[in-house]
Structure 1
Amino acid sequence: MNIVIVGAGKGGVSLIESIAKLEDTAIVLVVDANLEAPGITLAKGLGIQYAQSLEDIDKFSVDTIIEATGKESVAQALNVRFGSRCNIIDSHGARLIMSLVERDIKTLHRLNDQLVTINSTTGIVQEQLLEISSSIETIHDISMKLNDSSQASTQYIQESDKIVKYVNGIAKQTKILGINATIEAARAGEYGRGFAVVAEEVQKLANSSEGFANEINNILKHLAEEIQKVFNEVKRLEHLSQTQVQASDQVNQAVANLIDDANFK
């Protein structure tokens, strides 16, 4: 459909802005006596032809003429000259069209402002999500290091336990040796009295060594239990960090999709 707009004032500008966006509709000419009118300036920017005289309409194949000046004389002149050739929409119809157009334009501007806000907000959200992802990865790295440390500590405890068992074995052998020495000292009677004192001290040392070995063994046992708890919590932390990374990636993708949709619209 080819359209001519007569009148390039405020109403004409609204009509040009709206109709220029329609498919299967073309503004072939904008007419106004004032070539400095805002509608003429807009037509120049959009590559639409313009003129000062109604006679120039004869040069074009026109389906509809919209009279946007509001002047009765202009409407009459259009009806007399072109009424039999095409549809004429007078100022009353044009005013209705312009009010609808202005409302649509305001709605579009409001939607554009909302899209700008959405883009700005989603950009901030993406930045925050990237920081969260980075911190989650750091937590993951820390949990892996803690996991390695707990495994190494467990290995050291196992080695220490072997040493304690070895010391405990020596203590038992020393204790048996002290008992045997006491028996031999008793057999020697008066001559073995000094040796009996030494045997008694050897037994005390064996008993002390065995007691210390048992205490160390208990401490190592409790330490191993605590390290196992740390290991379990590290595993749990690792699982949670992986879950957070996946959730963060999904949110990032959702935000990216939202931005794409907003830009597409």
Structure 2
Amino acid sequence: MSNRIIGLDVMEAFTKIAPYLNHLLNQDIFVSVMDTEKIIIHQPAKTFSLGTKNGDKIGEGWVGYKAMKEKKTKSLVVGKEVLGIPYQAIAEPVFDENDRAIGCIVVGASIEDTVRLQEIIGQFSQAFDQVGTGIQEISSSSQHLAEIGERLSTEFHHTKEDVKKSDEIIHMIQKIADQSKLLGLNAAIEAARAGESGRGFTVVAEEMRRLSEQSKTSGKEVKEILSNITIAIDNITDQAMETSAISEEQSSSTQEIAAATQELKAQLDELNSFIHKL
């Protein structure tokens, strides 16, 4: 394969350049060059150490050992619980002209910043999920409130119509009271003409006029009460309509915020996927 590292001279070149790679790449990395038995040179990272040194025997669990045995590039991610800092190591086997693995080059780097960034993205993503859920609840509540406002407005309209009908009834009662008063007056006149024999009729005429006056007075009071109720219904209807309009506007705004939140969350997910590919 064309991308394979071939030749002992390449291993020797890496051995010479290993102490400078950390500085040249401006990254916190370690470099190990090994043959099939031991570490030829190990250049530790600045912030963490594997605890290995030049001349150490290669263990079977080492990523370099596995790369040479399987004759392919191997990658290993180690969590911070091992050395206190998470890191990733990539092992590339070196072959001779007969395709035999004669050594390995291992380069490892701290991924602490990457892991921390993933944690932050995860926290943001979780927070956006919670915000999105809250916004949906607010939007749903706003829509429900708008529906209630519309229903109240309809009910108040019907009530106002009923009040108008009641006002017509009161007007009819007042008309009947006026007629009753006129009848009582005529009855009193006729009773006066009848003299002694019409005295009982006079009592009835007086009672009719009295009831007529009471009915007219009560009708005026009821009419005034109904008028106040109509004014109150108008005010409540206006407030219900205003509440409904505000709720609809709030629902629309929260939906826009929810859409923006989802878009930002999608961008964070995309960023997280990109980081995993690094």
Normalising by the smaller structure, the TM-score range is 0.5 to 0.7
Alignment deviations for residues 128-163 of structure 1 (CA, whole Å, 9 cap, x no partner): 222222222221222222112111111111111111
Instruction: Identify the range of structure 1 (186-195 vs 121-130) with the bigger mean alpha-carbon deviation.
Output: 186-195
Higher strand share: 2
Map of 2:199 onto structure 1: 193
Shift of 1:31: 6.1
Instruction: Identify the range of structure 1 (139-148 vs 169-178) with the bigger mean alpha-carbon deviation.
Output: 139-148
- Contact persistence 1:31–1:50 (CA under 8 A): no
Shift of 1:44: 3.1
Q: Which runs of 5+ in 2 are unaligned?
A: 26-32, 37-57, 68-72, 77-89, 272-278
State how far apart, in whole Å, the 2-side matches of 1:155 and 1:258 are: 51
Give the partner amino acid of 1:38.
V
| Counterparts of residues 59-78 of structure 1 (less than 5 Å) | none
- Contact persistence 2:142–2:247 (CA under 8 A): yes
Map of 1:228 onto structure 2: 234
Aligned: 1:213 with 2:213: no
Instruction: Identify the range of structure 1 (33-42 vs 115-124) with the bigger mean alpha-carbon deviation.
Output: 33-42
C-alpha distance 193-261 of structure 1, shift in aligned 2 (>3 A): same
| Counterparts of residues 42-121 of structure 1 (less than 5 Å) | 43-44=73-74, 50-51=92-93, 56=95, 101-102=109-110, 105-121=111-127
Give the partner amino acid of 1:219.
I
Taking only aligned residues, the RMSD between alpha carbons, in angstroms, comes to 3.4
Alignment deviations for residues 12-69 of structure 1 (CA, whole Å, 9 cap, x no partner): xxx9xx9xxxxxxxxxxx96534642245573359x9843xx6x26689xxxxx976x
State how far apart, in whole Å, the 2-side matches of 1:32 and 1:180 are: 136
Question: Which of residues 243, 250, 258 in structure 2 aligns to 1:244?
Answer: 250
C-alpha distance 58-109 of structure 1, shift in aligned 2 (>3 A): farther
Question: Which of residues 54, 62, 67 in structure 2 aligns to 1:37?
Answer: 62
Aligned: 1:130 with 2:136: yes
Map of 2:164 onto structure 1: 158
Q: Which runs of 5+ in 1 are unaligned?
A: 19-29, 61-65, 69-93
Alignment deviations for residues 193-219 of structure 1 (CA, whole Å, 9 cap, x no partner): 222221111101111111111111111
State how far apart, in whole Å, the 1-side matches of 2:181 and 2:98 are: 127
Give the partner amino acid of 1:243.
E
